[in-house]
Structures are given as C-alpha cells and as structure tokens.
Amino acid sequence: MENRTEISILGEFGLIDHLTKNFEIQNVSTVVGVGDDAAVIDHFGKQTIVTTDLLLEGIHFDLMYTPLKHLGYKAVIVNLSDVYAMNATPTQITISIGFSNRFSVEALDEFYEGVYIACEKHGVDLVGGDTSSSDKGFIISVAAIGEVSPDKFVKRSTAQKGDLICVSGDLGGAFLGLTLMEREKKIFLENPKVQPDLENEDYIVGRLLKPEARKDIIEFFAKNDIMPTSMMDISDGLSSEVLHLCKQSNLGCRIYEEKIPIHDLARKAAFKFGLDPTVCALNGGEDYELIFTLKQEDYDKITLNEEIAVVGYMAELEEGTKLLTKGGNTFDITAQGWNAFNK
Amino acid sequence: MENRTEISILGEFGLIDHLTKNFEIQNVSTVVGVGDDAAVIDHFGKQTIVTTDLLLEGIHFDLMYTPLKHLGYKAVIVNLSDVYAMNATPTQITISIGFSNRFSVEALDEFYEGVYIACEKHGVDLVGGDTSSSDKGFIISVAAIGEVSPDKFVKRSTAQKGDLICVSGDLGGAFLGLTLMEREKKIFLENPKVQPDLENEDYIVGRLLKPEARKDIIEFFAKNDIMPTSMMDISDGLSSEVLHLCKQSNLGCRIYEEKIPIHDLARKAAFKFGLDPTVCALNGGEDYELIFTLKQEDYDKITLNEEIAVVGYMAELEEGTKLLTKGGNTFDITAQGWNAFNK
C-alpha cells in the first residue's frame, strides 16, 4: 500500500520547509534563498538573466504517462535551456506549484526529487517560489535566473547573411516519444489489460520525458572561444525556430534536409508510425536542443564537436526561407510546415 | 456590443507582441526585455532580488467581481510588495498567464492595462513571460526582480528583543471588502435582478481590488536613514506575519489591540457585518501593508510619518506571543487566531 501523508498535516509553510530542506546553496552569489519574502542574489560586473515558463496539466503534460519525478526534472530543464540559449550560466530558479488534494506529500516529494536532480546537475540554487491549492489540476511555474559577462550574451536578432546555421544533438525524438505515449494511452483506455509496448523505445521516450539542457555546448563555446552570432533553444521544432532567427535578424535561410540530425532510433520509430522523420524534426517540439548561427570563418572550431551539425546558412531576406530536400526539391519553410509538407 | 477579437487570429507570438508593445523600458539596467529567450539585467555592485507568486482563478480571485484591469494591477502589486518587504527597489517583472478561449484579446488587454499601470507607477519593466492556453480557468504567475545595496536588505529573522513592532497603513480592510463582495455575489446568484449595494463601501472594496505596495515607506526609510531590524509584508493578516517574525527571529512579542491601525470605514463595515474589527485586522489577509521592527532609539525617526503605527514590541521567546486587549485581557496569538478569538 502506498504511504500517504495528507498535505494538510504539514500546512503551507511546513510543506515549503519539507520540500526545500534538502536544497543546499551552491553559488556564493545566493545570499538569501528560500524562507524570506524574496531571494537576494549578489552579482559583480555580471549580467543577470531571467526567464520563466508555465506548465499546465492537460496542456503541457499528461500525468497518465509522466512520472512526477520526470516532470519536476523537465520543468527545471526547459527553463535552464532558455538561459543556455542566451550563452549564459543558470544560477538560481524559483518554482511555484498549484495542486489539488489528490496529491499527497509523497507525490510532491517525487516531483521535487526531479527538481533537485536537475538543480544539482546544473549547479543551480532553488531560491524561492509559491505553493497554492488548485481545483484545476497540477500547475507549475518556474523562473530561472542566470549570469553572463556583458559582452557574451547572444540574442536571436543578430545573425548575419552567410552565417552557418548549426544545431546541437538530434531532432524529432521528443515528438516521436509523445506519439508513442499517446498511442499507448489510447490503447490502455480502450483495454486496461493490455500492457504498454515500449520495448526498444527507450530513446524516444527518454527524449520526451527527460530532456537535457545543453550546458555542454555552452561550455564548449567558452572553452574554444566560440561566439555564436545568434542563438535560441529548439522547443517548438526546427521550422518554427529558424523562422524566429530569420524574422528577428531580418534575413532568409537555406536548410538542407540531408543535414538535419535525426537519431537512428527516432528514424526507426518514425517509419514504424508511418511518419516522415524530417517532418518530425521540423515540426515536432520539445527537443530542447540549441540552434545557433556562426561566422563561416569559425567553421573549423566546431568540426571537432560531434554534437554539432551544420544544417544550412542565413541568406538575404529576398531569398526567402527554404528547405532543400534530398530529392532536389525546394519548399518554403513555414510555421505550419507540418500541413504544408504533408500535402 | 462588445468588440471581440479571437486570440487565434493573432497567434501566440502575435499575442505577445500585441500585449507588450506599449511597455517602454524604464531602467537602464534592462539590457534585453521581452522577445528573446530570457531577459538580461545589468547590475553593478547591487544585489538582485527575485520573488514570485502564483494566482489562480477560484482560489485567489473570483472573476465575477474582479475586473480584469484590477486583477492585472493586483497581480503585479502583490509581487512588488514582496520586493519592498526586503527594503529593495523593484526593477523588472515577468508575467506568465494561462487562459481558455472564453477570453478575448480585449479581455487580456484589460488585464495588461492593469499590469502596465502598476509597472509605470513603480518604475518597473516587464521583461518576459509565457502565455499558454488553459482548460483550467485563468492562471497568473508573476516573478519580480529588484535591487538593493548589499548592506541594506532586511530579512525576517533579524529582529532583536525590545525592538518596536510597526505596521504601515491600516489593516482588515481587504478582508471586509472580500466579505462584502462575497455577500453581494450570493445575493446576485439568488436573484440576478438585485443591484449590488456598494454604496459608501468604496474604501473596503478598493482595499480588496486595488491594493497598494508601500513604495512610500521604503522611500521614507531611505530618506530618513532608517534601517528596520526585520521586515515582511502583510499578506495573510497581522497574526500570521507577527508569528513569522517571532519564529524566524527566535523571539516572542507583545501586541496592543488598541494600537492596531484600523480605518474608520473598515470599522463601520465590520460592525455592519457583525464582525470584530480587531479580528479582521489580525486574521484577514491581502492588506499588503508592511510590518517591521525597529530599534527603540529610532522611535523619534518614525513619529513624523502618520502612515506608520507602533503596535507592540519583541519579547523574549519564553514570554510567548501575546495580544493585550483593550479590556485588559491577554490572548495567545495563533495562526488560527480567528477561531480562538471568536470563542
């Protein structure tokens, strides 16, 4: 039988104490953390980064197939990914949650265990937040704070014509994981006796439930004196993000289908589901990889990193935003690429 | 007829552009605001303050009697109040909202108009956020960032025995406003033809729907070289907050009922509803005044400010946390003071 402690026994402040007591301060800049009205962060000659994301049950996650520990981990990671996308180092987060009385203390412990693991892995302090009862499912709001030297942060709007377009890791896996979980959920709801068939699908399920923020890429930049000309993280699919970089930098682009990095296991899963892997990479979200542009003369600096692929280049605005396919065709990249592409 | 634009026409990014286009940068420290992965804030020799609050429809507010403009204003104010409670100056906020398709662009405009007014009044920049669809009512998450000199921030845990306990403004009004609105709502639901009877209740309704964050008190401290020994804002009632200061400073206290500041119009409303005004001040929340402690030798410095009342003093831990009533009785102050007091 599950061990269940009612949250009402702890009370709100007892709950906060309970949930945060294992968080140790990791940064000397964290002067005041949890337990006061606000957190105090000390910075000297650095610039502070702030970002926030709201995650809602039924919209951003489905508790039917998302373990709470993974959810806590992911809620932090998606925010840290935004900080890395500024070429910055995350240092603190705040986390606010709303939850109904269907959640036990143990359930929230699980959630915070995931939060804790993500914080520890990235050297980040949890410095505040808010908890609330909710009659509206599980609600998560995370704000992440980071720091960067004034001359190092990288915006979306500063790409130049001719710059190489690069992406980290591989794309489309998280969307295929989602497709799999939604399929298994449907089967389970129709017949609860059928066991989920997740064999050999660890990779895509992991991409969905336990995404990583690319700290390693930012560290690689610092170590090799690489300064991207523009950067953002890939949360809504390659198409959407390339269009953001183009729009904000007032440029066009060329993307080569054959250069888009797709993991073999994602490719296999796509074929199994009857989906085009390229379409999954272009339009599936939640990969949390980085897309950035680089001066051509910096190309040699990145060739040693197998986690970085050059997928195209920035073009004149008048040249439009185009995908060149393996078959030699040219398509317009659109935010609704999924539909356009499936015609 | 109401002018209604569907949010779907704008799309998510169009909506963010739309909602934030009127926000002008006010602080030179705001290097990058809305429109990138995260906000960049430049600080030199200052300490950064971060705080966050989650506001949920049905839990924290009722849209039946809360105009969206007031809600936007209040969502910002309750966070700025936390920054002031650190003796700091708010400089930036992020705001994330979740909403269903029952909200039109005009409705969200109204909400952001309130946000804008609060930001302008307090010299704060909106630097980021997130918007999401929600099938769970209206959800608001605000994070506020502020700055303070390293030697000026004020915690809850640093009160000393013998320090004066002071509060700003007056207490209990917001709770009486809530009592009134809940009563009128009940009458309306029973008979929609009955017009709400809010005559002469502007004060308490205003305290509920349009609270103020006490920027003026923090400015008064700076101007008069006053350094509170501890401070927090009063969001859960005087009892609850006094107990926080005592617990975190490891002390007891004495509070004098006759010294608790209650507005005449709140007192009148309390009598009308058959409530004890002192109980409303002790246990009614949402006044967003400041409670702080002060060295006795600083007493002369605050006498000129009519917005500050001395309500008691910090005592030894062993002396307990006591309320001395007008009638000469002594009560234990408890977090459930409401029930204890009504016996």
Q: What pLDDT, on the 0 to 100 scale, is given for residue B152?
A: 87
CA dist B162 and A18 (Å) reads 32
- Reading phi first (left if > 0) and then psi (alpha if -120 to 50, else beta), residue B72 is in alpha
Q: Considering only the top CATH level, what class is B7-148? A: alpha beta
Per-residue pLDDT in tens (0 to 9) along chain A, 343 residues = 456 777 677 766 666 677 666 666 666 666 665 556 666 666 666 778 888 889 999 999 999 999 999 999 999 999 999 999 999 999 888 888 898 878 888 888 889 889 989 988 998 888 888 888 888 789 999 999 888 887 888 989 899 999 999 999 999 999 999 999 999 999 989 988 877 777 788 999 999 999 999 999 999 999 999 999 999 999 989 999 999 999 989 999 999 999 999 999 999 999 999 999 999 999 999 999 999 999 999 999 999 899 999 999 999 999 999 999 999 999 999 875 333 333 3
Contacts of B169 by beta carbon, 8 Å cutoff, 6+ apart = B214, B261, B287, B289, B307
Structural element, H or E, at residue A176: helix A173-190
Q: What pLDDT, on the 0 to 100 scale, is given for residue B42?
A: 63
Cβ-nearest to A59 among B38, B86, B134:
B134
Q: What is the pLDDT of residues B163-179, one digit of tens each?
A: 999 999 999 999 999 99
CATH of segment(s) B164-342 = 3.90.650.10
Q: What is the pLDDT of residues A80-120, one digit of tens each?
A: 999 999 999 998 888 888 988 788 888 888 898 899 899 88
For chains A and B, CB pairs below 8 A equal 200
Q: Taking CB atoms and an 8 Å limit, are A56 and B139 in contact across chains?
A: yes
Q: Taking CB atoms and an 8 Å limit, are A59 and B98 in contact across chains?
A: yes
Let me know: does B156 contact B240? Beta carbons within 8 Å.
Answer: no
What is the location of CATH 3.90.650.10 in chain B?
164-342
Q: What is the pLDDT of residues A120-161, one digit of tens each?
A: 899 888 888 888 888 878 999 999 988 888 788 898 989 999
CA dist A96 and A41 (Å) reads 19
- Whether chain B has a CB inside 8 Å of the CB on A64: the answer is no
Q: Which of residues 257-316 of A touch B (CB under 8 A)?
A: none
CA dist B170 and A334 (Å) reads 57
Let me know: does B134 contact B100? Beta carbons within 8 Å.
Answer: yes
Q: What pLDDT, on the 0 to 100 scale, is given for residue B342?
A: 36
Q: What is the pLDDT of residues B91-149, one digit of tens each?
A: 888 888 898 878 888 888 889 889 989 988 998 888 888 888 888 789 999 999 888 88
The residue-averaged pLDDT of B249-253 equals 97
- Whether chain B has a CB inside 8 Å of the CB on A242: the answer is no
- Whether chain B has a CB inside 8 Å of the CB on A151: the answer is no
Q: Taking CB atoms and an 8 Å limit, are B232 and A36 in contact across chains?
A: yes
CA dist B184 and A143 (Å) reads 38
Nearest by Cα to A43 from B312, B101, B265, B149: B149
Looking at residue A188, its amino acid is: F
- Whether chain B has a CB inside 8 Å of the CB on A143: the answer is yes
Q: How far is CA A295 from CA A159, A164, B198, in A?
A: 9, 6, 66
| Alpha-carbon torsion angle B313, B315, B321, B327, nearest 10 | -60
Q: Taking CB atoms and an 8 Å limit, are A39 and B51 in contact across chains?
A: yes
Interstrand relation of B30-32 and A330-332 (parallel, antiparallel or unpaired): unpaired
Q: Taking CB atoms and an 8 Å limit, are B48 and A145 in contact across chains?
A: yes
Let me know: does B159 contact B296? Beta carbons within 8 Å.
Answer: no
Residue B23 has pLDDT above 70, yes or no: no
Count other Cβ atoms within 10 Å, centred on residue B120. Answer: 13
Looking at residue A302, its amino acid is: I
Backbone angles phi and psi of A67, in degrees to 5:
-60, 140
Interstrand relation of B252-256 and B321-324 (parallel, antiparallel or unpaired): parallel
CA dist B228 and B293 (Å) reads 6
- Whether chain A has a CB inside 8 Å of the CB on B241: the answer is no
pTM over 0.80, yes/no: yes
Alpha-carbon distance A328 to nearest alpha carbon in chain B (angstroms): 32
Cβ-nearest to A50 among B39, B98, B136:
B39
Written in H, E and C, the secondary structure of B148-172 is ECCCCCCCCCCCCCCCEEEEECCCC
In whole angstroms, what separates CA A250 from the centre of its chain?
25
List, in sequence order, every residue forming a beta bridge with A330; answer none if it has no partner: A324
Q: What is the pLDDT of residues B193-230, one digit of tens each?
A: 877 777 788 999 999 999 999 999 999 999 999 999 99
Write down the ipTM of this complex. Answer: 0.84
- Whether chain B has a CB inside 8 Å of the CB on A336: the answer is no
Q: CA-nearest residue of chain A to B133? A: A59
DSSP E strands, chain A: 30-32, 39-56, 89-99, 125-133, 139-148, 164-168, 230-234, 252-256, 289-294, 308-315, 321-324, 330-332
Q: Taking CB atoms and an 8 Å limit, are A54 and B135 in contact across chains?
A: no
Q: How far is CA B270 from CA A10, B209, B274, B278, B282, in A?
A: 32, 18, 6, 9, 13
Structural element, H or E, at residue A37: none
Q: CA-nearest residue of chain A to B231? A: A37
- Whether chain B has a CB inside 8 Å of the CB on A38: the answer is yes
Cβ-nearest to A58 among B35, B128, B135:
B135
**Chain B partners within 8 Å of A246 (Cβ):** none
